[in-house]
Amino acid sequence: MSGQLGFHLQQGYCAGCFTCQIACKDKNDLEVGQRFRRVREYEGGGFAGTGRGLVQNVYAYWLSLACNHCEKPACVGNCPTGAMQKRPEDGIVFVDQAKCIGCRYCQMSCPYGAPQYNPRTGKMGKCDFCRDLLAKGEQPACVAACPMRVLTFGPLDELRKLHGGIQRIKGLPAPDRTNPSLVITPHRHAVAVVMEGDDHA
């Protein structure tokens, strides 16, 4: 597998079961409070009065998010020691633990909150796309664990061809600063930004 890797989330079918988050936490043996993948609920809508009663448009959906292995990762650009790196062959962003001094500049720079501080080691950590599993031909832990099969991964170009080019929904920052390697097929109530040329919305 070559070229920039990315994640795809079929959001409309995500049940918010947290299995991907738990699998990631278990695989990486993370400390309490550390989460390389985070599952969050978004809700909205309400009730409106009509002549005969109330009408509701209440909704809720889930977002499973890890590091987006951005094309222009702010964490890499702002790391003073070169510990935060982006692999040229597949675009995976990772932390070189030998160079990390735990200054948290990467954490402050990332609009997605991906880098996480480990108080036990005094260093930063984050999703590295389960590089060790990929090297063995296996899937990232989060993808393999998803019982609904709504979280997938692959070369970003192929994901965009299959699913479109949506990179943003309600709750995510504008993608233009870092260009995340993320494709979302949004829940019908998510406020999505459609990239130019995308006809999958």
Tell me the domain boundaries of the chain.
5-185
Domain 5-185, second-level architecture: 2-Layer Sandwich (3.30)
The pLDDT of residue 199 is: 36
Residue corresponding to tokens 């099969």: 149
Cβ(45)–Cβ(69) under 8 Å?
A: no
Of the ranges 57-61, 126-130, 169-173, 174-178, which one carries the lowest mean pLDDT score? 169-173
Is residue 149 pLDDT above 60, yes or no? yes
Does residue 75 surpass a pLDDT of 80?
yes
* Per-residue buried b or exposed e for 130-157, using 16+ beta carbons within 10 Å of the residue's own CB: beeebeeeeebbbbebbeeebbbbbbbe
Evaluate if residue 201 carries a pLDDT over 50: no
Task: Give the tens place of pLDDT for each residue, 113-131.
Answer: 999 999 999 999 999 999 9
Whole-number Å distance between alpha carbons of 114 and 87: 17
Q: Cβ(140)–Cβ(160) under 8 Å?
A: no
Q: Are 173 and 191 in contact (CB under 8 A)?
A: no
More confident position, 102 or 49: 102
pTM here is: 0.88
Listed in sequence order, the residues at least 6 apart from 158 whose beta carbon sits closer than 8 Å to its beta carbon are: none
What's the chain's average pLDDT?
91
